[in-house]
Structure 1
Amino acid sequence: MCGITAFVKDPRSSINGHVNGHVNGMTNGPTNGHPDASLANKLEASIAILNHRGPDDAGIWINQDSSVGLAHCRLSINDLSPSGRQPLTSDDGEIHAVVNGEIYDHDRLRTVCSQEHGYRFSSESDSELVLALYKIHGAPRFFRLLRGEFSFVLCDERNGRRRVIVGRDRYGIKPMVWTSIEGKILLSSEAKAFLPLGWKPEWDIEAIATSGWQLDTRTLFKGVHKLLPAHWLDITEDGFQIHRYWDAEYEDKRKLETRSLDEMVQGVREKLIESIRLRLRADVPVGIYLSGGIDSSAVAGIVTQLARENNVKIGNETSTKVSCFSVEFPNSSGFDESSIAERTAEWLGVDLVKRQVNEDTLARDFADTAYHCEHHHFDLNCVAKFALSTLPREHGVKVILTGEGADEHFAGYPYFPVELLRETDHAQPDAPLSRDEELRAALHRSVDKDMRQVFRNLGAAGEGGTDDDDDCPALAQVNNSTMPWTLLVWHAKRRLFAPWVQDLTAGLDYRDTVLASYSADVRAKMRSRWHPLHSALYMWNRTTLANVLLSCLGDRTEMAHSVEARTPFLDHHLTEYVNRLPPSVKIAYTPPEQAGGNTTSHHGDQGPLWESSAPGLTSFTEKWILREAVRPFITDELYKRKKHPFLAPMKWPRGGPLHQTLSGMLTREAVEGLGFVDYNVVRDSLDRAFGEEADASAFRNLLYVGAWVTLAERFGVRKATCNESN
């Protein structure tokens, strides 16, 4: 993993008649036959800001007419020698690239490229495959061969014409943001790297107020866009185009499934094992984040078996001992899973190192987490993940395997059963809910009602619409799914914003923003082809997974400490297989009279999410087929345990470290300096967010605004005013 920064002369600027001679002191022509020294200095300053992503090496390349510049900071994982440094150059010297991420199955692909196509590799780095595959197959065809997590900028100067290709992996595991200022397109892993290149950050008020930053290409900053997952930019002297090269697909809901359950379980098992095996390849030590859930525990169990029974190396280690890392929340009943992780580690015979995360830790790391994430979050989970990610490097581990993506493909979250119940699963006609239409409809009403109450108990409630989706005709576009409402439950409430922002958004239904983030062809599939559960999975994965969870619970908090995380559950060979499985093998209904001791219901410590759940919700076994597939690799306790989301505690004492930190941060001057927040709401929230009777919604207000204040101070964001247009 690494950090990248790039600039490209914007073809749109010359088309629009803009002056291209100077950009913030940077000249576009060569200086004495060499690239502009001013540009080089600015690129060096830009990539230095991203040193946390790649502290091992750094380099820049600028073409002869200074129309393209590439910068890279390196976290050495494969090929630790100088030959693996970037920017990379192709064997003919005419294609250049900076790559962030990992390309898997690279040993086989290198052999194909060299033996069948004559490509001459200059390193052992997997990143060089981006150059080789592009040169051999061109764009977009080479994307289908890229397996892994990646973002890159590639400059092709063959045939006397400049072409720049910018790509991002299928699920958005690796970040890529871009903006355009004064005749240049700037690209980077993180927006903060734009600052030395002349970027003057401003708030995108509409994106913040309507949750657009969470749902589409926008960020918190005006004019700064995310390149969406599975998309690529094509920048030539003739123009600028964005394309999609891949998308998730699901079976037609009316198509009967003929495969047996045993066949499907075996299929998941084989593809998951292969995904994990590929991600153990590294020239440095590899470890695992281990929680109290089945996802990370399954990864640990499979890695252990691969090492001990199949002699698969764990990174560069010759030992079969697996290193695992976990969070411990002391004195936090219901949130701390470290005891379960300990029992799992003992059962597997692996090493477990724990990071104790207490209130002092969360208060200390809050601002740094917001700075690295570059967006607000609705709880303290990301701060806990930030603290956890200090552990691997302290113990000499650069690469970590994680469980992200399992809940998103095997329907692990508690808001998915309501979508399963929305329609019959015709692929499983013998399932109880397929045979009994009345039961399915009754459970749907019950689970829908109960899940909405769970959200309210957690201090989250729908915004920009009501929690009754019957009043929203636009939802017919997605077959009346409740997922658009679910995606908005964590969004900041209207009353938090200044009156002028409330006026700006008056009358808007934010669910329209959700719907607009999906293409017309996808909405058509949701209306008539896909089962509602699959539509909900698609909506979640294309918004919250990509724009929030893989950022603040993934890349940004891990790379803040120079740790590369690998996500075997997001291998597209695995996910494409899982997507084609019937809905009712992902979430299984177990009638109460059959529950006995063989269901996850009411088994042991199920955590705060399930404490007040009604029987309807607890009658479902989430991730059923994954549980069966990984059964040989996990304990009986985990096999029977319900999903326990990674959660940091939300209730803290009045006058404690968090109360003091947030009070000191959220002064009237700091909050009113943002220009778009109502300080009176913040002051009221400070009064209600702590102590025994703490209001979770008020606490979330403080987390949102605390992150904005941090970004305003560290990025130098200009105060927003009601006169600006977005």
Structure 2
Amino acid sequence: MCGTLASISVERFPRRNGHHNTNNNHSTVINGDFKGARNHDVAVNGELEDQKRQRALLTTQLEDGLTEISHRGPDNSHVWTTEDARVGLGHARLSINDLSIDADQPIHSDDGTIHAVVNGEVYDFDRLRQVLTDQHGYHFKSHSDSEVLVALYKVYGAPDFIEHVRGEFAFILYDERRDLVIAGRDRFGIKPLHWTFVRDESGEKRLLVASEAKAFLPLGWQPEWDIGAIVDGGYMNGERTVFKDVHKVLPGCWLEMHSDGTINHHRYWDMEYNEKDKVETRQLDDIISGVRERLTEAVRLRLRADVPVGIYLSGGIDSSAVAGIVAHLVREDGVLAGTEDASKHIRCFTIQFPSGSGFDESDIADRTAEWLGVDLAKKDMNEGTLAEYFTDSIFHTELPCHDLAGVGKYGLSMEARDNGFKVVLSGEGSDEIFAGYPFFMGDVLTEPDLSMPTSPLAKDQTTRLDLLRMSNDVLEKVIKWSGLWLHRPEQGSSADDVQGVAPTLYFQPSLATWAPWVSRRWPDMNCRATVAASHDPKVRAKMANRWHSLHTAEYVWTKSVLPNFILSTLGDRAEMAHSIEARTPFLDHHLVEYVNRLPPSLKYAYTPETEDFGEQGPYWTDGTAPQKLLTEKWILREAAKPFITEELYKRKKHPYSAPFKWPKEGPIHKMLQKLLTREAVDNLGFLNYEVVEQGFNKGFGEEADARAFRNLLVYASLVTIGQRFDVKKAESRDWAPVTGPV
């Protein structure tokens, strides 16, 4: 685990002779400053001195960039550059596997021609290391999992080497044999990776790549807002961010920069589902066993570390299943939780929100911990603490957030770190893969599941359509009560617009929210069109014709909300803010590929025989159909049943969220008032302060409007980012008028 940063000079990137410096430095990466052609064979003293100066400057800039993200790797940091300062790599290390200096980064291949920085974890690396040593004669320097990635690249090249990598990772690699830089990201976007271009002091164009955008600041980056991405939801879909010209390397993708300065983007992996009418022929017991075996293996692999491993435990089935499997592996199979013999003390961590809010699951976590016989530490996230942590949480997230749940996870990671842990297992990804969200209810009912033609809802269209109508009514109530935004297809949408694209969930206020020039510039905001445009036409054709509607919804959420909100706000950024590596067994791609091929009816199942529903949480307080007749994550419940309590087996999904109703003049109200002054809002340049001011009248008190409160959180997030990053005020002259479809 680490922070990475790289700088490459685009305009001085032709192939040249000359050897690179291969001093082995520690692990913060700044993708090399590829600065142009120099004839090293005939270099005069002046040229050599200039190279030394440029190299010293680049080293200092990279070191300063690593300081900005030192929370990602507080154990040590190192920088490596080429002799001519064309390429520079930096790495801030969080030591987890092989704690010795041999595992420091940047990493260099055994022949000294490949240089890389790696963020994250490669699982099953002991087996890979043996294969690379025995069959390919590779000579390893360390016992680090990250070094395996460099060895795989040397043996298999790109992109074939990534197919062997199992885990969560982001990397930047320079192959001096080919004068090639590549940067890649894991299949689900668990680990972040951003890139942008800047001009250095001499006016040369450089490519920067880093784990977090804040690392760019010492290298000449001057942040500006991407108003279009904020207005149309682009920062939640595709490669855009809230910062102008700062892009994400997309999940399952890699980019390469060639010696002529061109950058190519490639996808090495993607989600796939069966044809909607392919009949399932396997026995149900075999399917349940298949899920259980793959999930257990995913958990087992993620217990491998040279430091202790803990568990995040909430009141839901996902984290509880992980904790239950860990307890089984430790006590029945003698598996270590990292370096810990945890047979007596498996350590778990949970959040305690204010009692009576409807969002505190700590009592259920208590009962689960007692049943499992594990230790449970609680982080009290009361109103004052949430208000105190808000701005720091947003600074680390680099995203506008409509919920305080990310602030809760920020506090939870602090609790784990204060208890001496660097690694925890977490339940993120389960809802997207196993269809856990209530918003998926309508998607499983939209069309019959022809892969199980004898199932009740496949045979009885009347019942299915009745349930669909009722589910839409229920979801409308949930959306209104919770203040969220659910973007549904428009009637009569064309295939070129949003046909086949599932409903999505993210911030989209009214036009009145924006400054007048923004409303004129983007008069027809269509977030669903943004979602559609973010997917390859071939994928959209599968959505429209090949995949079941539930699988389309899973795909859309896994490409948008999962990497751009959950794995960021609730995942990597919240955890790495306190130097915690969270591992996500549910996003093991071997498990996901198996589950993706299962029938929709085994994920969101029709279960009219169920009578005892247990405690249902605030989302299902009315107790009406169809939620009584449908069970989300049914196949996971069956697979995890030996490892969880009866209470969790029966309990309906309660999405992890923070309370959104707070009193006037309380800590959160006062915190937002302090942030959202007229001056602060006007300094953004794109919000209408009158609408912000009106939000305070609606967003607090006993009769508070949930959406008004969520809007205020988004506005406060933007103000926080603007102030902490010193973002340039947005002005209409910086954005050309619309001349065609946005």
Instruction: Output the TM-score relative to the length of structure 2.
Output: 0.92
**Which residue does the alignment assign to 2:389?**
365
2:309 to 267, 272, 286: 286
Q: Deviations over 1:327-350 (max 9, x none)?
A: 011223421100000000000100
**Which residue does the alignment assign to 1:419?**
443
Is 1:247 aligned to 2:270, yes or no? yes
Q: Deviations over 1:257-298 (max 9, x none)?
A: 100110100000000000000000000000000000110000
Is 1:66 aligned to 2:85, yes or no? yes
Gaps of 5+ in 2: 16-33, 38-45, 200-204, 737-742
Tell me, yes or no, if the aligned pair for 1:29 and 1:65 is still in contact at 8 Å. Answer: no
The residue identity in structure 1 corresponding to 2:88 is G
Change (3 A) 1:120 1:128: same
**Aligned-residue CA RMSD (Å):** 1.9
Task: State the SS of the aligned residue for 2:665.
Answer: coil
The residue identity in structure 2 corresponding to 1:595 is T
Tell me, yes or no, if the aligned pair for 1:476 and 1:527 is still in contact at 8 Å. Answer: no
Is 1:398 aligned to 2:398, yes or no? no
Change (3 A) 1:686 1:31: farther
1:174 to 175, 178, 191: 191
Task: State the SS of the aligned residue for 2:704.
Answer: coil
The residue identity in structure 2 corresponding to 1:304 is A
The residue identity in structure 2 corresponding to 1:596 is E
**Which residue does the alignment assign to 1:130?**
149
**Which residue does the alignment assign to 2:8?**
8
Tell me, yes or no, if the aligned pair for 1:477 and 1:527 is still in contact at 8 Å. Answer: no
Change (3 A) 1:80 1:367: same
**Which residue does the alignment assign to 2:703?**
693
Change (3 A) 1:134 1:696: same
Q: Report the CA distance between 1:448 and its aligned residue.
A: 1.8
Tell me, yes or no, if the aligned pair for 2:698 and 2:705 is still in contact at 8 Å. Answer: yes
Equivalent residues in 2 for 1:121-270 (5 A)? Answer: 121-158=140-177, 161-182=178-199, 183-238=205-260, 239-270=262-293
The residue identity in structure 1 corresponding to 2:337 is I
Q: Report the CA distance between 1:401 and its aligned residue.
A: 0.1
Change (3 A) 1:29 1:303: farther
Separation in structure 2 between the aligned mates of residue 620 and residue 517 of structure 1, nearest angstrom: 31
Separation in structure 1 between the aligned mates of residue 226 and residue 381 of structure 2, nearest angstrom: 33
Tell me, yes or no, if the aligned pair for 2:403 and 2:713 is still in contact at 8 Å. Answer: yes
1:505 to 505, 522, 525: 522
Q: Deviations over 1:299-320 (max 9, x none)?
A: 0000001001100111001232
Q: Deviations over 1:571-609 (max 9, x none)?
A: 000000000000000011122xx2223xxx4x22x1111
Separation in structure 2 between the aligned mates of residue 32 and residue 179 of structure 1, nearest angstrom: 26
Equivalent residues in 2 for 1:110-129 (5 A)? Answer: 110-129=129-148
Equivalent residues in 2 for 1:399-478 (5 A)? Answer: 399-462=423-486, 469-474=490-495, 478=499
**Which residue does the alignment assign to 2:22?**
none
Instruction: Output the TM-score relative to the length of structure 1.
Output: 0.94
Q: Report the CA distance between 1:554 and its aligned residue.
A: 0.2
Separation in structure 2 between the aligned mates of residue 123 and residue 494 of structure 1, nearest angstrom: 56
Equivalent residues in 2 for 1:514-663 (5 A)? Answer: 514-591=531-608, 594-597=609-612, 601=613, 603-604=614-615, 606-612=616-622, 614-663=624-673
Separation in structure 2 between the aligned mates of residue 621 and residue 390 of structure 1, nearest angstrom: 34
Task: State the SS of the aligned residue for 1:36.
Answer: helix
Q: Deviations over 1:399-428 (max 9, x none)?
A: 000000110100000011211111111111
2:376 to 344, 352, 360: 352
- Provide the identity percentage: 53
**Which residue does the alignment assign to 2:300?**
277
Q: Report the CA distance between 1:510 and its aligned residue.
A: 2.3
**Which residue does the alignment assign to 1:374?**
398
Separation in structure 1 between the aligned mates of residue 101 and residue 508 of structure 2, nearest angstrom: 46
Q: Report the CA distance between 1:372 and its aligned residue.
A: 0.3
Q: Report the CA distance between 1:165 and its aligned residue.
A: 1.0
2:674 to 636, 640, 664: 664
The residue identity in structure 1 corresponding to 2:277 is R
**Which residue does the alignment assign to 2:94?**
75
Tell me, yes or no, if the aligned pair for 1:30 and 1:64 is still in contact at 8 Å. Answer: no
Q: Report the CA distance between 1:659 and its aligned residue.
A: 0.7
Separation in structure 2 between the aligned mates of residue 134 and residue 461 of structure 1, nearest angstrom: 43
Separation in structure 1 between the aligned mates of residue 48 and residue 291 of structure 2, nearest angstrom: 55
Task: State the SS of the aligned residue for 1:723.
Answer: helix
**Which residue does the alignment assign to 1:25?**
none
Give the total of aligned pairs: 702
Q: Report the CA distance between 1:495 and its aligned residue.
A: 2.1
Change (3 A) 1:462 1:422: closer
The residue identity in structure 2 corresponding to 1:714 is R
Tell me, yes or no, if the aligned pair for 1:11 and 1:235 is still in contact at 8 Å. Answer: no
Separation in structure 2 between the aligned mates of residue 385 and residue 648 of structure 1, nearest angstrom: 10
Separation in structure 2 between the aligned mates of residue 610 and residue 499 of structure 1, nearest angstrom: 40
Q: Deviations over 1:133-172 (max 9, x none)?
A: 00000001001001000001000012xx411110100000
Structure 1, 693-702 or 354-363: larger mean CA deviation: 693-702
Q: Report the CA distance between 1:323 and its aligned residue.
A: 0.2
Tell me, yes or no, if the aligned pair for 2:357 and 2:659 is still in contact at 8 Å. Answer: no
Separation in structure 1 between the aligned mates of residue 214 and residue 623 of structure 2, nearest angstrom: 42
Gaps of 5+ in 1: 23-27
**Which residue does the alignment assign to 1:342?**
366
**Which residue does the alignment assign to 2:110?**
91
Tell me, yes or no, if the aligned pair for 1:662 and 1:702 is still in contact at 8 Å. Answer: yes
Tell me, yes or no, if the aligned pair for 2:35 and 2:85 is still in contact at 8 Å. Answer: no
Task: State the SS of the aligned residue for 1:99.
Answer: strand
